[in-house]
Amino acid sequence: MKKWILAGVLVLVVIVAAPYGVGVLTQQQWGEAVSRVNHDQPLVHMVTDRYDRHFFGADIHGEIEVMDPETGESHRIPYTGDVSHGVLSSSVELKPVADSEPMLKTLFPKELPKVTLTTWLWGTLEADFSVPAIDLVDDDTGETLNSAEAYGWAKVTDAGDHVELNLNWPGMVVRSDAIRASFDNLQLSQEGDRVAGSLWSGDAALTVEKVGYVEGDQADVSLENLQLTGNTQPEKDDTRVSSHSALTLDAVKVGDASYGPHRIEFNLDNLDVDAWLNFQSVATEIQMMQAQPDPTLSQQALFQKQMMLMQRFSSAAKAVAAAGLTIGMPTIDLKSADGDIQGHWSLSHPEVPKAKQADMPLIVQQLTGELELSVPVALLEEDPDLSRNLQGLVQQGILKRDGDVYRINARLDKMMLDINGQSYPLPPLI
């Protein structure tokens, strides 16, 4: 009997004490998650102003700073978090502060968007998010915005290196005196594993059942069953990745006419992981410098910094190419009222031995590629100005008429571009 009493007391102690331990771990995990978000990308920065931890919960106050990469302007959105501690898990409900943005009150007068995060002792993070329905009318202009509730979930495991994501948005409609634009049933799903840094492998799919647009008394235009899928796989012990993506569309409808199906594919083969991450890093530095130049630097110093970054950018691009790379669109198949647009293209750079990469002067010297494309004559000659410009290309041999279509057959090798049997030297620009 005493053993059972002792066991019961131990269980009770664990149940009572567990929320405290979970609370300590949750605060630590929150800090690590915020640091990782800020480290992995430059456009969104999270700040935790206060984290007030209690026995069974905590209160969080902070700001999310979002930067516009084109202008460098930052937008601050204050948020609050309500944390609850359990025996094996804790949950955090995050909401924006409505008073901080007048637009939030206008769009969501009754209920704000929210994200609920649940963390488990074994490291799994689960997130549920929802954006309430919007019914907005501008009394001055008569414009309306109607959006169904959007909702989704995410699951993060393996110390942040495995992610599953699902988003559902039933639809949205925007109306004014001049236009009506809408979409129906947007769904996004993704499952991926981190290869290194910001590079992920896995599968992703985006589908939209219908996109509609009409302007004034023009014919209705709609896209039926738009799908974008992608698959990225690691290779050679995670030192390379290859990716395949496809954009498909069942039909484009203009009034009573319908054209389809359409398909475009894109391939990326043998991308060097380290070289690509370095290229991304340099490109981000250039983008950040253009958006937010250092005010403490003189014009001369700023110019020198720009030149150094451009040299690093050139070296990084060479490293990506020198590792051996092939990109292209193996399938281009589009339908129109005047006929089909079909073709494919590819560009390849051979792998250069490490010992010779430093001496590689230009990427373009070893590039090879091909392009084949056919376009209906009637489609290109609908616009009189375009039609006049095309005649010059036909006379130069860049476009070749073959019955009811124009064709381009091009090959690139040893800095010579062969277009429909005519050779042109390629300028050493890259």
Of residues 226 and 309, the one with the higher pLDDT is 226
From residue 270, alpha-carbon distances to 267, 273, 311 in Å are 10, 9, 24
What pLDDT is attached to residue 373? 95
Instruction: Estimate to the nearest angstrom the gap between the alpha carbon of 412 and the chain centroid.
Output: 31
Instruction: Please state, in angstroms and as integers, the Cα–Cα distance from residue 206 to each residue in 112, 122, 203, 247, 428, following that order.
Output: 26, 31, 11, 10, 39
Q: Say what the pLDDT of residue 246 is.
A: 97
What pLDDT, on the 0 to 100 scale, is given for residue 325?
Answer: 92
Residue 396 CA to residue 115 CA, distance in Å, equals 59
Helix ranges (H only) for 296-383 are 299-322, 354-357, 377-380
Distance of alpha carbon 34 from alpha carbon 37, whole angstroms: 5
Among candidate residues 140, 218, 226, the one with its CA nearest the CA of residue 179: 218
Express each pLDDT in 242-271 by its tens digit. 999 999 999 999 999 999 999 999 999 999
- What confidence tier does 70 reach under pLDDT thresholds 50, 70, 90? low
Cis-peptide, bond into residue 261, ω within 30° of zero = yes
Query: How deeply is 154 buried, as exposed, middle or buried, from its count of CB atoms within 10 A (0-12, 13-18, 19+)?
Result: middle
Which pLDDT belongs to residue 394? 82
Q: What pairing do the DSSP bridges indicate for beta strands 405-413 and 144-147? A: unpaired
Mean pLDDT of 272-299: 85
- 6: enclosing H helix or E strand: helix 2-40
Nearest to 314 by CA among 356, 351, 364: 364
The encoded tokens of residue 19 equal: 């929320």
Q: Do 415 and 426 contact (CB within 8 A), yes or no?
A: yes
pLDDT given at position 89:
60
- 305 has a pLDDT exceeding 90: no
Q: What mean pLDDT is predicted for residues 16-29?
A: 55
Return the percentage of the chain with pLDDT > 90, whole number.
40
88 touches 120 (CB < 8 A): yes
Q: For residues 103 and 176, give the distance between their C-alpha atoms in angstroms, rounded to a whole number.
A: 19
pLDDT at 91 over 90: no
More confident residue, 177 or 225: 225
Residue type at position 397:
G
Amino acid at 56: F
Instruction: Please state, for a pLDDT cut of 70, what percent of the chain lies above it.
Output: 86
**Residue 339 pLDDT exceeds 60:** yes
Task: List, in sequence order, every residue forming a beta bridge with 418; answer none if it has no partner.
Answer: 411, 423
pTM: 0.82
- Residue 103: enclosing H or E segment and its boundaries? helix 102-107
295 torsion bin: left (phi>0), alpha (psi -120 to 50), beta (else): alpha
Give the per-residue pLDDT at 25: 61
Band the pLDDT of 4: cuts 50, 70, 90.
very low
Mean pLDDT value across residues 285-290: 80
293 pLDDT more than 90: no
| For the chain, domain boundaries | 16-122, 133-260, 270-430
Q: Does position 346 have pLDDT exceeding 80, yes or no?
A: yes
